[in-house]
Amino acid sequence: MLFMSKNVIIIGGGIQGVCSAYYLQKEGHQVTVIDKSNFSTGASYVNAGYITPSHFISLAAPGMISKGLKWMFNPASPLYIKPRLNPDFLKWVWAFKKSATAFKVENSISPIMHINLFSRQMYEDIKLSNDFKFHYERKGLLMCYKTDKVGEEEWEVGKRGIEEGLKVEHLSLKDVEEIEPKANLNIKGAVYYHSDAHMTPNHFMPEMIRYLKSKGVVFFANEAVVDITISNKSISKIITNKQTLTCDEAVLAAGSWSPLLTKKIGLKIPIQAGKGYQINVNRKTNITIPAILCEAKVAVTPMDGFTRFAGTMEIAGINHKINTNRVNAIAKAAKLYYSTIDMTSEELSKAECGLRPCSPDGLPYIGKSSMCKNLTLATGHAMMGWSLGPATGKLVSEIISDKKTSLDIKPFHPDRIF
């Protein structure tokens, strides 16, 4: 088959957008990336930097609705859903409720795990290419717990991970102290996933953008897509606040803003923005292995030169308002689990947030909708956005290059019914 280079426009310059650009340019396509920011802010820069085969249980798990209702009145809870009479929000909640069944969660385990494992391999291939210098370590992930009840729950998940082929261990406090001797953890034990890796997002993103520019990828910063012209179920023009562009193919990787654009082609994908927070501690913490503080739902990552504490899921629409109650909850959790960690007011004042695009069933949207022939979606990754960047980018390039995809993408279809 004769290869045809295509003119591809990617809407969104976060991890999904730049990874799509990376694999598309490797296939020989002409690529342009448009983003409303300056390519230095957002969820792709303030996340925990996890590559997470361990996270194979969907957010839409049985019991999550009742937890959400219980936490609704606690401003410092790990999950906060702000009730509002918004049609898109109400449809999303209903779809989430229908997805939160044991049957649907069971069916999503294999797709979630395999795309994570595939993405981890892609990250390692990028690292081995010697075109980049970025922090990447595969030290696993500790699911740290303070109560026997939570420990038992985490181990049940861990045993399922073993069934799926992951290496998982149930560690006592003494076991944890042998591999993390100076962190002063105040816990009962941990479930240790050897499968996971971690990175420093603030290093990888600029490196990838630098590389892509050197390969001829065009970047338009501080430019918002305001309209899309459709002709015969195909995008003919992409209109920004600065110019009008034409393309053979388009990729929508606009995160939480994606539904605003899919509506223009008649596709209503349910996505809600899930706000997460991060606090960076730029001093020695003696933390060397990434951990999730289970009861508090806080992620801890030893990044290159600092330690990042991240957490909470706040579903309250698109906004970047910093909720100090939630920032303080992360700091409090850090102190409860690591007895020597005491964050300063200056560190708390520099807390940042990012919006994660959450689908109702915990699976991303990757692929083409029947509503548009030349639009490929790459959005809805929720808390696994960073983890799934390269896998998504590779799949997007295979779809646009008319190649057989490396993974079965049916579970991620944008037209799936909830």
CA distance 329 to 356: 19
pLDDT (0 to 100) of residue 77: 78
Strands 79-81 and 306-315, how do they pair?
A: parallel
Tokens describing residue 222: 């501080």
Q: Confidence band (pLDDT; 50, 70, 90) for 130?
A: confident
pLDDT higher at 68 or 10: 10
Q: 149 CB contacts (<8 Å, ≥6 apart)?
A: none
Residue 418 lies in a domain: no
Residue 1 lies in a domain: no
CA distance 123 to 30: 23
Residues of the domain holding 164: 7-412
Give the position of tokens 């388009």.
250
- What are the residues facing 308 on neighbouring strands? 280, 301
Q: How far is CA 81 from CA 27, 89, 98, 315, 321, in A?
A: 42, 10, 17, 5, 15
Residue 191 lies in a domain: yes
CA distance 417 to 415: 6
CA distance 146 to 207: 39
**CA angle (115, 118, 120) in 5-degree steps:** 110
Q: Confidence band (pLDDT; 50, 70, 90) for 59?
A: confident
pLDDT in tens, 385-401: 999 999 999 999 999 99
CA distance 349 to 329: 14
Query: Across all residues in the chain, what is the average pLDDT?
Result: 95
Phi first, then psi: give them for residue 119, nearest 5 degrees: -65, -40
Phi first, then psi: give them for residue 395, nearest 5 degrees: -65, -40
**Domain total for the chain?**
1
Tokens describing residue 284: 């020695």
What mean pLDDT is predicted for residues 204-213? 97
* The pLDDT of residue 270 is above 90: yes
CA dihedral 334, 335, 336, 337 (to 10 degrees): 50
pLDDT (0 to 100) of residue 2: 57
What mean pLDDT is predicted for residues 351-371? 96
CA distance 241 to 228: 12
pLDDT higher at 316 or 171: 171
Reference 411, options 115, 17, 20; nearest CA is 115
Side-chain-side CA neighbours of 122 within 13 Å: the count stands at 23
* The pLDDT of residue 353 is above 80: yes
Could you give the 3-state DSSP secondary structure of residue 164? coil
CA distance 255 to 46: 14
Could you give the 3-state DSSP secondary structure of residue 313? strand
* The pLDDT of residue 72 is above 70: no
Judge whether 397 and 272 are in contact, CB under 8 Å.
no
Reference 52, options 287, 276, 291; nearest CA is 291
Tokens describing residue 68: 């959400």
Q: Confidence band (pLDDT; 50, 70, 90) for 358?
A: very high
Q: Confidence band (pLDDT; 50, 70, 90) for 1?
A: low
pLDDT (0 to 100) of residue 283: 95
Cβ count within 10 A of residue 366:
27
Residue 391 lies in a domain: yes
Where residue 107 sits, what CATH number does that domain have? 3.50.50.60
Judge whether 89 and 82 are in contact, CB under 8 Å.
no
Tokens describing residue 396: 């997007």
What mean pLDDT is predicted for residues 298-308? 97
pLDDT (0 to 100) of residue 143: 98
Strands 168-172 and 189-193, how do they pair?
A: antiparallel
Residue 340 lies in a domain: yes
CA distance 364 to 342: 36
**CA angle (92, 316, 256) in 5-degree steps:** 65
Residue 2 lies in a domain: no
For residue 58, the Cα-to-chain-centroid distance in whole angstroms is 13
- pTM comes to 0.96
pLDDT (0 to 100) of residue 63: 78
What mean pLDDT is predicted for residues 344-350? 97
Share of the chain above pLDDT 90, in %: 89
pLDDT in tens, 144-189: 999 999 999 999 999 999 999 999 999 999 999 999 999 999 999 9
pLDDT (0 to 100) of residue 61: 83
CA distance 364 to 360: 9
Residue 417 lies in a domain: no
CA distance 160 to 182: 30
Cβ count within 10 A of residue 188:
15
Cβ count within 10 A of residue 351:
22
CA distance 61 to 108: 10
- Give alpha helix (H) positions in 227-366: 258-262, 324-337, 345-349
